[in-house]
């Protein structure tokens, strides 16, 4: 099937789908609203099928890529959601070498899905040790795509909403601590995240003073009164057509300037929230490629020098 683009859909339909993706409406409500865009023989269900993630499109670095070593790893998180105090994530690093700068990869609002796992592997291929924690691990982990298919992400969003948000933050703070102390880490730490994960990167910049670099993709701004705690050099990516996130940026930028925080910010013209996620029509290849190259350049500059 030909990959659809955001421009193939009515902007109002994309806004409706964004509400569904973020768990603000259920699938039934999306289908009801999408019915008025179902023309030319299409059905609302067909539109949902076109817009939902297709993880067959996500793989840029194969699981068996000879450049990397990847495995699921457990790490301690005593203040997090797991009752046994342990969390799990995908840990990947270059196949050769002893120590590497480390990066926490923070998923969207649906756990460690195949797209985020691929991002972890992309960073390993670029010379970093990367850990992608799964906030859903206390509930059994991200639902198996081969079992749930199109409903895997839907189930994952519902699962993440049941977790204690403050404890989710502790699980990612613990991931940062795990990487800082890891025997294969140089002690230089970065973080990158998308949507929910972008907001979490902003939070980690406040909570983890050792964080040297943060890259939030369309992430919610932190409380401005906390910005003075940020020591990391930030690279912030925004989609042009993302009013909810962009509306919070001016106050955040003012606070960054007032506190002397190093930052660069880019708005990608014509893009929608989620433009880096290459499994949905909101993906914008040109913007995603540029934003990712800027991300790798930022980590190379701040973590490898």
Per-residue pLDDT of 252-271, as tens digits, reads 999 999 999 999 999 999 99
Inter-residue contact 270 to 282 (CB < 8 Å):
no
Q: Where in the chain is the domain with CATH 3.40.50.1820?
A: 62-304
Write the pLDDT tens digit of every residue in 90-115: 999 999 999 999 999 999 999 999 99
Instruction: Please name the fold of domain 62-304.
Output: Rossmann fold (3.40.50)
Query: Which residue did the predictor score with more confidence, 248 or 39?
Result: 248
- The whole-number pLDDT of residue 2 equals 63
- Structural tokens at position 212: 């040297």
Q: Is residue 1 scored above 60 in pLDDT?
A: no
Per-residue pLDDT tens over the stretch 148-180: 777 888 899 999 999 999 999 999 999 999 999
What tokens appear for 83 in the block?
């009752």
- The string of DSSP codes covering 94-130 is ESS-S-EEEEEEE--TT-S-HHHHHHHHHHHHTT-EE
Query: Average pLDDT, whole number, for the chain?
Result: 94
- ∠ Cα 61 23 45 (to 5°): 80
**Residue whose token pair is 């025997």:** 183
The pLDDT value recorded for residue 40 is 78
């Amino acid at each position: 099937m030909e990959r659809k683009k955001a421009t193939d859909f009515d902007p109002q339909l994309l806004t409706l789908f964004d509400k569904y993706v973020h768990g603000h409406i259920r699938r039934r409500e999306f289908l009801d609203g999408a019915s008025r865009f179902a023309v030319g023989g299409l059905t609302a269900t067909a539109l949902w099928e076109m817009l939902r993630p297709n993880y067959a499109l996500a793989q840029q670095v194969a699981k068996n890529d000879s450049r990397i070593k990847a495995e699921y790893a457990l790490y301690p998180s005593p203040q997090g959601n797991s009752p046994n105090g342990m969390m799990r994530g995908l840990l990947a690093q270059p196949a050769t070498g002893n120590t590497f700068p480390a990066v926490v990869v923070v998923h969207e609002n649906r756990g460690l899905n195949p797209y985020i796992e691929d991002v972890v592997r992309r960073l390993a291929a670029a010379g970093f040790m990367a850990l992608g924690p799964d906030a859903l691990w206390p509930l059994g982990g991200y639902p198996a795509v081969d079992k749930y298919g199109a409903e895997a992400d839907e189930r994952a969003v519902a699962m993440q909403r049941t977790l204690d948000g403050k404890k989710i933050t502790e699980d990612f703070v613990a991931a940062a601590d795990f990487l800082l102390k890891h025997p294969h880490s140089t002690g230089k730490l970065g973080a990158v995240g998308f949507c929910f994960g972008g907001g979490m990167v902003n939070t980690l910049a406040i909570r983890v003073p050792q964080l040297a670099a943060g890259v939030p993709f369309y992430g919610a701004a932190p409380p401005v009164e906390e910005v003075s705690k940020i020591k990391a050099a930030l690279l912030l990516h925004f989609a042009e057509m993302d009013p909810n996130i962009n509306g919070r940026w001016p106050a955040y930028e003012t606070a960054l300037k007032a506190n002397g925080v190093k930052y660069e910010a880019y708005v990608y013209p014509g893009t929608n929230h989620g433009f880096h996620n290459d499994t949905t029509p909101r993906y914008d290849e040109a913007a995603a490629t540029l934003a990712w190259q800027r991300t790798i350049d930022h980590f190379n500059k701040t973590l490898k020098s």
